A and B are shown apart, each in its own frame.
Chain A
Amino acid sequence: MSLTLEHVSKTVDGHVHIADGCLNFEPGSFNVLIGRTLSGKTSLMRLMAGLDKPSSGRILMNGADVTGVPVRKRNVSMVYQQFINYPTLSVFENIASPLRQAGAGKAEIERKVRETAEMLHIENFLQRYPLELSGGQQQRTAMARALVKDADLILFDEPLVNLDYKLREELRQEMRELFKTRRSIAVYATTEPNEALALGGTATVLHEGRVIQSGPTAEVYHRPSRMLSAELFSEPPINLLPGRIAANEVSFQDCMHFPLNADLRTLSEGDYRFGIRPSHIGLVPSNDDDLEVSGTVELAEISGSESFLHVRNEHLSLVLHLQGVHDYPVDSPIRVYIPTHKLFVFDAAGELAQAPARRI
């Protein structure tokens, strides 16, 4: 079953929640919606589920127009941020509730509930009540309830955000496993780029109600079609430098410049914005075409295995993401090297003009 959104818009009281959204999800795909809070992820999911009607546009499931069909008639499940379970029902009853609604037989309910509980590792808690369980277990119960229905469309609205960091990692992995063999379409909303990357599948970047980019996650990450997409989909945020291409070289702020390499030569002259990922900037020159930048260290954040250096000089400020521990005291001078062949180039309108070639 595929899901298609055609020019879907939603305006409430003059506020545009979704503007002209066009999306297409294939059956059995895992799709991540990524964007900041209030970027429209929840609104979009509510439209997909049928909880809201779009102000304009159509929603098609398997080619059939379901725009006006209310959620009860659609085959949809949803998992929320707050662990939502029926507090007066046991875990078993919670998971069984959609099956009972559908009028399934007792033996079938028994079998399916146990199966799903095993998948989510809560088979030992079936007789307990949700409020007696830990946060992670409650959310697994909610997920089991969503999965047992075997709905065509399963929506997850930032379900792991109230859980521990480690628990999140665990559940993310389990989710990917769970969806490998299913034919349902999963849509997962998150604000964290790292989570989107870890989940894989396809990624749709949303900003202020607009779809900025949609495609396979790795694609969206490595080839952001717009500057906004690059900004929203990287953590730490991508470094952006305004510069211009003229007279066969690139210059930043009229002070730093380097000659055009083979790829950049294909671009016409003008003002551009150049992006460089924090993990690509190094402390030692590693290529002939590295651009050297001197500055002072504003702050060094050290985690056990990585360091984030915030460097600035009078023209620009950069964030570096380095492997290993590099402890620099504040205000110490530093020289960093930007490999110019790894630069992203965005034109004045914010569209991608060139992305660095990937050699894998």
Chain B
Amino acid sequence: MTKIQDNRAWWLVLPVFLLVAFSAILPMMTVVNYSVQDIFDSSTRFFVGAGWYRQILHDPRLHDSLLRQFVFSGSVLLIEIPLGIAVALTMPTRGRWASLCLILMAIPLLIPWNVVGTIWQIFGRADIGLLGYVLNELGISYNYASNTRDAWVTVLIMDVWHWTSLVALLCYSGLRAIPDVYYQAARIDRASAWAVFRHIQLPKLKSVLLIAVMLRFMDSFMIYTEPFVLTGGGPGNATTFLSQTLTKMAVGQFDLGPAAAFSLIYFLIILLVSWLFYTAMTHGDQK
């Protein structure tokens, strides 16, 4: 369906355009500006060209952070996407249970992020946290504050608890859009449940899954609040992800130049990977 062509629409867009310019493009340009200068204070600055970029790209802390970040985002996607689909498949579609289920699914998404971090931080403590206490009573040594593996597992589980609902709800709406006749035809063709999933549900979920994957990737790649509140980045550097490293640099050490350069590189990485995902998933449709 083609839209009405009306050039006056540009006038309506102008306020938004100005807003975006003010709140996004100008700051972004400022960052670019900072990334090519060495700043001591507001009046002392030197142009260093690509100096900061070179320094950043060789910084081992950055490499480590980046690696951790990719591992984190990868694990998040690997767990949350299939889990979300599975949950969506089992959610009831009719009756009052359906509404109840939807509400339950939505609750984790409504909690402020730092509260999420706090919940899990307390939950996991060996002394007053239910999880920590029970696990230790069962003989499993669990301490996310001092054990790297425990910290990772806790952060991952927290993220899964927090965000799988989003994937589930998106897939649920995608599944609801599939007409009944497809299932009827599959029954008549004696298709197994797996075949139904593979040939009917999954293809029809493609566009929804694309959104889910992109959203989860971008959000998890930028994650800051929850792990910061939960582990503070520890033990040591174990759960210090990119955003935290960046914050330390910019706010903690006030190295505006490198931080700015880092920001831009961060931005470009997200853009690149998202674009790769998008192309890969929509490639099939071009044929």
Which residues of A are at the interface with B, using a C-beta cutoff of 8 A?
12, 46, 51-53, 70-71
Contact = CB atoms under 8 A, between A and B. Distances in A.
Interface residues of B, number: 4
A351 B63 CA distance: 75
Contacts of B5: 53
B4 A70 contact: yes
Contacts of B6: 70
Nearest to B5: A53
Interface string B4-41: 11100000000000000000000000000000000000
A50 B5 CA distance: 11
Interface in B168-227: none
A49 to B, nearest CB: 11
Contacts of A70: 4, 6
Given A51-B4, A53-B5, A70-B4, 6 more contacts: A12-B2, A46-B2, A52-B2, A52-B4, A70-B6, A71-B4
Interface of B: 2, 4-6
A103 to B, nearest CB: 23
Nearest to A51: B4
B2 to A, nearest CB: 6
A51 B2 CA distance: 9
Closest 9 CB pairs of A and B: A53-B5, A52-B2, A70-B4, A12-B2, A51-B4, A70-B6, A52-B4, A71-B4, A46-B2
Chain A interface main SS type = loop
B8 to A, nearest CB: 11
Contacts of A53: 5
Contacts of B2: 12, 46, 52
A70 B4 CA distance: 8
B12 to A, nearest CB: 15
A48 to B, nearest CB: 15
A3 B287 CA distance: 43
B5 to A, nearest CB: 6
A71 B3 CA distance: 12
A70 B6 CA distance: 9
Nearest to A68: B5
A53 B2 CA distance: 10
A349 to B, nearest CB: 34
A14 B4 CA distance: 18
A199 to B, nearest CB: 27
9 contacts: A12-B2, A46-B2, A51-B4, A52-B2, A52-B4, A53-B5, A70-B4, A70-B6, A71-B4
Contacts of A52: 2, 4
Contacts of A71: 4
Most buried by A among B2, B5, B6: B2
A51 B1 CA distance: 10
A342 B124 CA distance: 93
B71 to A, nearest CB: 43
Nearest to A52: B2
A70 to B, nearest CB: 6
A53 B4 CA distance: 8
A52 B5 CA distance: 8
A360 B127 CA distance: 104
Nearest to B4: A70
A71 B4 CA distance: 9
Nearest to A70: B4
Nearest to A12: B2
A152 B177 CA distance: 40
B266 to A, nearest CB: 36
A46 B2 CA distance: 10
A52 B4 CA distance: 6
B7 to A, nearest CB: 11
Contacts of A51: 4
B1 to A, nearest CB: 9
A350 B92 CA distance: 61
Contacts of A12: 2
B224 to A, nearest CB: 42
A255 B6 CA distance: 63
A196 B287 CA distance: 39
Contacts of A46: 2
